[in-house]
Chain A
Amino acid sequence: MLSSKVSSGSHGEDSSYFLGWQEYEKNPFHETLNPNGIVQMGLAENQLSFDLIEAWLEEHPEVLGLKKNEESVFRRLALFQDYHGMPDFKNALAKFMAKIRGNKMKFDTSKMVLTAGSTSANETVMFCLADPGDAFLIPAPYYPGFDRDLKWRTGVEIVPIRCVSSNGYKITEVALEEAYERAHKLKLNVRGVLITNPSNPLGTSTTREELDLLLTFTSSKNIHMVSDEIYSGTVFYSPEFTSILEVAKDKNMDLDKKIHVVYSLSKDLGLPGFRVGLIYSDNEEVVSAATKMSSFGLISSQTQHLLANLLSDEIFTTNYLEKNRKRLRERRDRLVMGLKKAGIGCLKSNAGLFCWVDLRHLLNSNTFESEHSLWKKIVCEVGINISPGSSCHCDEPGWFRVCFANMSDQALDVAMERVKFFVEPIAMSTYGGNQKRTMWDSRRRSLINKWVSKLSSGNYESER
């Protein structure tokens, strides 16, 4: 009676990524009201710099009051539904995006399409570039939401590019070709590659070499390159953020018309509720089609007006980007240190709102069942919601995404204490005289020994 999109359950929302949230909703941590509740570390939100925006709002009351030079702008805004977007807002966004990239490039507002969040932008890009049954290659692990955003209503398939921990999850030529072949074996027509740079869930910015490799690959196959750069403003350690557009320009590919960027203010500015996303493309046909499609998800003019004013303030944006980066860096270091104290390491990261944490040594067995059972323990017994790697399509069991920017320092410390407390008995039994050793205990012990030595070596050190 209803469409197949409804009955097939292909919205992807039954994955554990969403189930963890549900558990949290039932029993959320609160410093004073519910100190034993579940600490939410599965939500990639940036709550660290609201005070900066609030201060700006205090200083500019006329903006929220819908006034400009004492005149009401209410009517103009109420009627403004032009899918080309508010010019002031697009200009401000162009400047902001350029600033994030160290002003090494300029953005042309005529190549910009505004959408209600990057969720809408990503789906729209798929509708423009691919037909049902076509495929996009995406490096795994990737953001679980893509299974819904890119595939559900578009009918497009995702074929993962397998990235592994042994080389720090770098994208390799072999992996790209392998994914391409796999797609062909599945009789899928590959239309492009989509990356998230900086990566969610890894928290690493894509290197210049990888970007160069990707463009060489997409160019040779005559397919599209989509770069989701929604975390570009969260890079807090070197290497500096390099946009695909920069590398394209260096390779003289910038007029290829097959390179597209997605952006949003949900992560950098911490404003997911305002639904601000965009597509940036050199390709006039894509811009034209995407602009018309944006009718299905326009940004509220009230919101465009507010943010046009906020982002036009250069003093504010410079200060914000700098402070935001610093706070993210400090918070991430706090998480990494806390985990280190519990004998847990993570992938060396330089961006994002989360760390990619290695809990392989805590698994019963090197399986996803074991990962799932560890995850459940962490949610229900330890009281922390984190995202298991399997929900991000990671090939290897035991990795988890742990967010750090959506809570207070205190909540983070509580979470770290709980983790330490959870892991300690394992460490104790390693060094204590407990004769009752199970197979599991000895396996854990050997992994922890290896782990402890690894912590002092190159891979995980320079946390600064």
Chain B
Amino acid sequence: MDLFSRKATCNSHGQDSSYFLGWEEYEKNPYDVIKNPHGIIQMGLAENQLCFDLLESWLAQNPDAACFKRDGQSIFRELALFQDYHGLSSFKNALANFMSENRGNRVSFDSNNLVLTAGATSANETLMFCLADPGDAFLLPTPYYPGFDRDLKWRTGVEIIPIQCSSTNGFRITKLALEEAYEQAKKLNLNVKGVLITNPSNPLGTTTTRTEFSILLDFISRNKYMHLVSDEIYSGTVFNSSEFISVMEILKNKQLENTDVFNRVHIVYSLSKDLGLPGFRVGAIYSNDKDVISAATKMSSFGLVSSQTQYLLSSLLSDKKFSKNYLRENQKRLKNRQRKLVSGLAAMGIRSLKSNAGLFCWVDMRHLLISKTFEAEKHLWKEIVYDVKLNISPGSSCHCEEPGWFRVCFANMSEDTLKLALKRLKKFVDDGNSKRRYHISESQRLKGSTKKTMTTVSNWVFRLSFHDREAEER
């Protein structure tokens, strides 16, 4: 007889993928400007370290929040005992308001429809437990966050079927791709319970367009038992607020608020990315379905947010002056940092998908592959980790169907470190170019065909202005 459960012994926790192996290499030899200047620079971690100064200064001005005090009075006992899975109402109210602000107050959130969880990791798993049974499936556009293989599937028994998106149209979800994914699930005898998107997308750094929303909502409208989960944990990282369209806004604009579709759309949120507080374990599920809220609330017992942390953050987020300023400043700094990465890459002939959000860029290194294969991608990735000493995430770990794309994070280091990373990469590319030019000129000589050199920057991908985006969305 087996000693452990199948869950414990199988590898469906997904943690053997290169996504995690890159981290391990980094852990062995981490870059430090003084102690280890030749170490590996971590560019595989989607953390937001750009605005801690704002948080620290707020804490310094508001010491009561972290010290269990309210209006100078100790509320330690109250917090020590507070384990109500409905959550601290002052925190939920503040969170609901913060979420609205993030969306330019174009939608409002009812704190009664919020369920607090220990991080979005917990929220996503809990939603799966609520919406699907073992053997059911959710459709996810690729490329997607590698952690979903663990979070959505492992203990829930739910399957993920990819909606294959391709670079030919900027990785946008198409009706065809969605239907193909659905057919694929049917062939595998899987009962599809819905679609899960990340908006803004990880790893792409792009916001979902109105066209894509139309396709998705049309799909779940036609299929009465399907849900749409929108993981909006990067909503505060959109460089320009007006460009972020929450699924709730779409439902409002399409006047779907009193239809059954309204109850089948759910949002996941977290403070790990927007506020840069992954250590505090703050996530939330938002739904208009009372049964989902009721079940998810009970399930949140398995991952409640520490009352100490709820109280601190309720004070922080209730400070409207702070939150307004924070959101604005955060967006500004992220935008600047993204530009530095993108222009730095462009200068060495590396393009990235045009992005308007997130803590990373989706970088096109297809031209650096020896061959158009995932083996070549892995080979290139290893060179970048071990030789260039940069940890970045290969597209295959994100289930990208085309080899050669990499997610490169930019918000988890100082500007100097980013400059150094770009310098190292440029050297690698230049060295590689000279080798490649030799090969190309050889093959040109042999075949007489022309090939673009690596140093050409294609205009369709890299643009700093966002006017074109607005045009394509209307």
- Are A and B genuine complex partners? yes
Q: B-contacting residues of A (Cβ < 8 Å)?
A: 1-7, 11, 13, 45, 47, 50, 53-54, 57, 61, 64-66, 72, 74-75, 77-81, 116-117, 119-120, 123, 127-132, 134, 148-149, 152-153, 189, 222, 224, 258, 266, 270-275, 285-286, 289, 292-293, 295-303, 306
Other-chain contact of A5, B55, B295, B303 (Cβ < 8 Å): B295
Are A300 and B281 within 8 A (Cβ)?
A: yes
Are A285 and B82 within 8 A (Cβ)?
A: no
A3 CA to B67 CA, complexed, in Å: 41
Decide: A116 near B81, CB < 8 A? Known: A50-B76, A127-B5: no
Are B307 and A274 within 8 A (Cβ)?
A: yes
B10 to A, closest residue via Cβ: A289
Other-chain contact of B131, A3, A153, A272, A292 (Cβ < 8 Å): A3
Are B4 and A128 within 8 A (Cβ)?
A: yes
Are B295 and A54 within 8 A (Cβ)?
A: no
Q: Which bucket holds chain B's interface residue count? A: 35 or more
B371 to chain A, nearest CB (A): 34
Asked if B177 is at the interface of the complex by the 8 Å CB criterion, the answer is no
* Chain B interface, >50% SS class: helix
Residue picked from A5, A65, A149, A306, most chain B C-beta under 10 Å: A5
Are B225 and A50 within 8 A (Cβ)?
A: no
Are A130 and B5 within 8 A (Cβ)?
A: yes
B residues less than 8 Å from A274 (CB atoms)? 80, 306-308
Are B9 and A300 within 8 A (Cβ)?
A: no
Are A13 and B80 within 8 A (Cβ)?
A: no
Are B291 and A300 within 8 A (Cβ)?
A: no
Are A78 and B122 within 8 A (Cβ)?
A: no
Are B81 and A270 within 8 A (Cβ)?
A: yes
A77 to B, closest residue via Cβ: B279
Residue picked from A7, A64, A130, most chain B C-beta under 10 Å: A64
5 interchain pairs (CB within 8 A)? A66-B66, A117-B301, A134-B5, A271-B80, A285-B4
B residues less than 8 Å from A6 (CB atoms)? 130, 291-292, 295
Decide: A286 near B8, CB < 8 A? Known: A6-B130, A53-B76: yes
Are B125 and A129 within 8 A (Cβ)?
A: no
A residues less than 8 Å from B278 (CB atoms)? 78-79, 81
Are A148 and B81 within 8 A (Cβ)?
A: no
Could you list 17 further interchain pairs (A-B, Cβ under 8 angstroms) beyond the known A65-B67, A116-B302?
Answer: A2-B130, A2-B292, A5-B295, A6-B291, A74-B56, A75-B49, A116-B281, A123-B302, A127-B5, A127-B8, A152-B299, A153-B155, A153-B299, A222-B1, A296-B151, A298-B118, A302-B66
Other-chain contact of B301, A1, A148, A295, A301 (Cβ < 8 Å): A148
Are A64 and B298 within 8 A (Cβ)?
A: no
Asked if B415 is at the interface of the complex by the 8 Å CB criterion, the answer is no
A299 CA to B134 CA, complexed, in Å: 28
Are A11 and B298 within 8 A (Cβ)?
A: yes
A191 to B, closest residue via Cβ: B5
Decide: A273 near B81, CB < 8 A? Known: A75-B52, A286-B4: yes
Asked if B211 is at the interface of the complex by the 8 Å CB criterion, the answer is no
A130 to chain B, nearest CB (A): 5
Residue picked from B15, B155, B291, B301, most chain A C-beta under 10 Å: B301
B122 to chain A, nearest CB (A): 5
B276-317: contact bitstring with A at CB < 8 Å (1 yes, 0 no)?
111111000000010110010011011111111100100000
Decide: A302 near B302, CB < 8 A? Known: A3-B130, A153-B155: no
* B1-21 interface with A by 8 A CB criterion: 1, 3-9, 13, 15
B388 to chain A, nearest CB (A): 24
Q: Which 10 A-B pairs have the closest CB atoms?
A: A273-B307, A301-B279, A297-B303, A300-B306, A289-B8, A273-B82, A80-B279, A6-B295, A272-B83, A81-B278
B295 to A, closest residue via Cβ: A6
A80 to chain B, nearest CB (A): 4
Other-chain contact of A129, B8, B56, B279 (Cβ < 8 Å): B8
A258 to B, closest residue via Cβ: B3
Decide: A296 near B302, CB < 8 A? Known: A6-B291, A50-B76, A273-B83: yes
Other-chain contact of B133, A4, A50, A77, A81 (Cβ < 8 Å): A4
B155 to A, closest residue via Cβ: A127
Decide: A13 near B150, CB < 8 A? Known: A128-B4, A129-B5, A153-B155: no
A1 CA to B227 CA, complexed, in Å: 9
Residue picked from A45, A66, A81, A130, most chain B C-beta under 10 Å: A81
A148 CA to B307 CA, complexed, in Å: 22
* B47-100 interface with A by 8 A CB criterion: 47, 49, 52, 55-56, 59, 63, 66-68, 74, 76-77, 79-83
A65 CA to B289 CA, complexed, in Å: 40
B353 to chain A, nearest CB (A): 27
B residues less than 8 Å from A131 (CB atoms)? 5-7
A9 to B, closest residue via Cβ: B295
Other-chain contact of B80, A50, A120, A296 (Cβ < 8 Å): A50
B137-171: contact bitstring with A at CB < 8 Å (1 yes, 0 no)?
00000000000001100110000000000000000
Are A13 and B81 within 8 A (Cβ)?
A: no
A16 CA to B132 CA, complexed, in Å: 29
B residues less than 8 Å from A5 (CB atoms)? 129-130, 133, 295
Other-chain contact of A298, B82, B119, B264 (Cβ < 8 Å): B119
A80 to B, closest residue via Cβ: B279
A75 CA to B121 CA, complexed, in Å: 21
B residues less than 8 Å from A130 (CB atoms)? 5
Other-chain contact of B8, A3, A128, A148 (Cβ < 8 Å): A128
A119 CA to B298 CA, complexed, in Å: 12
B7 to chain A, nearest CB (A): 6
B residues less than 8 Å from A132 (CB atoms)? 134
A residues less than 8 Å from B277 (CB atoms)? 78
B333 to chain A, nearest CB (A): 15
A residues less than 8 Å from B291 (CB atoms)? 2, 6-7
